[in-house]
Amino acid sequence: MKQVQSLNLAALVPGRSPCVNCGMTAWTRPGPPDAVRRFESRIIHQIAVSRNSFLNRAGAPLVSLHSVHCGSLKVGALDGHGVEQVMGFALPGDLVGLDAIARGSYATDSVALEDSRVCSVPLDELERLCRASPEVQRKLSCNLSEMITHGHRHVMMLARMSAEERVALFLSSLSVRYAAKGYSATLFRLPMSRTELGSYLGLQLETV
C-alpha cells in the first residue's frame, strides 16, 4: 500500500476489505442494520501513514475522522515562535480529529511517530449514524467527555506536579491505556522521542 506524506482522503476509495478489530466498525454497535451497512461501506480501511508523515494538518478543513489501527501518532501544534507543543499521543483504537468538529477544521497537526495505519470515515456518515442510533450518539458523547477530562488532568499535572511525578503519571496512564486495549500493562515501548515527551510533560530535555 502506498504511503503518503500528506494524506489525501479524496483520492482513496472506501469499502476496502474490513480489517480485524477495526476501530471504526466498533462505532456501529449497536445500530440499525441499514444505517450500519451504509456507514461501514464508507470506511476506508488501513490507510498507511509513514513515520513523520502528517495525517492531518492544523487549519485544513475537517473531512474525516480517523481511528488508529496500528502504530501511534502525536497530536500538537506550533506556537507563535514555531516551536512544537505536543498535546497528546494517539494509540491503536483512539479516534483522531474529534477536536475539529466544532470549528470545521483541524486545530492541531497529527503526525505518525512510526509507520502506522488508520481507518477513516467521513464525518457526515458518523453524524448520520448518530441520528439513527441514540446508543452510538451516546458513545460519541462519552468519547468527547473523556477528551475533556483528560485535558483537565493534564492541566492539573502541569500546574502542580514535580518532574518525577509527571513522568510517573504519564507511564501509569500509558499502562492503563494499553491494558484497556488488550495489550500488556507492564511491557510496552515508548514510540515518542524524549524531546516530544518533554514537550508534552512541560519538561526540558535534560530533565526527561
Cell of 141: 458523547
pTM of the model: 0.84
Q: What is the pLDDT of residue 185?
A: 92
- Assess contact for 23 and 92: CB atoms under 8 A: yes
Cα 79 to chain centroid distance, Å, stands at 21
Q: Quick: pLDDT tens for 10-19.
A: 444 444 556 7
Torsion from C-alpha of 167, 170, 171, 172, nearest 10 degrees: 120
Residue closest to 121 by CA, chosen among 196, 8, 9: 9
Residue closest to 12 by CA, chosen among 45, 49, 55, 61: 45
CA–CA gap between residue 199 and residue 89 (Å, rounded): 12
Cβ–Cβ contacts within 10 Å for residue 59, how many?
A: 11
The residues, ordered by sequence, that sit 6+ positions from 129 with a Cβ below 8 Å of its Cβ are: 27, 28, 31, 35, 36, 38, 39, 136
Q: What is the pLDDT of residue 27?
A: 77
Q: What is the pLDDT of residue 18?
A: 61
Q: Quick: pLDDT tens for 161-206.
A: 999 999 999 999 999 999 988 889 999 989 999 999 999 999 998 8
Pairing of strands 109-112, 44-56: antiparallel
Q: Quick: pLDDT tens for 16-64.
A: 556 767 888 887 877 788 888 888 888 999 899 999 999 999 999 998 9
- Assess contact for 101 and 127: CB atoms under 8 A: no
CA–CA gap between residue 171 and residue 73 (Å, rounded): 17
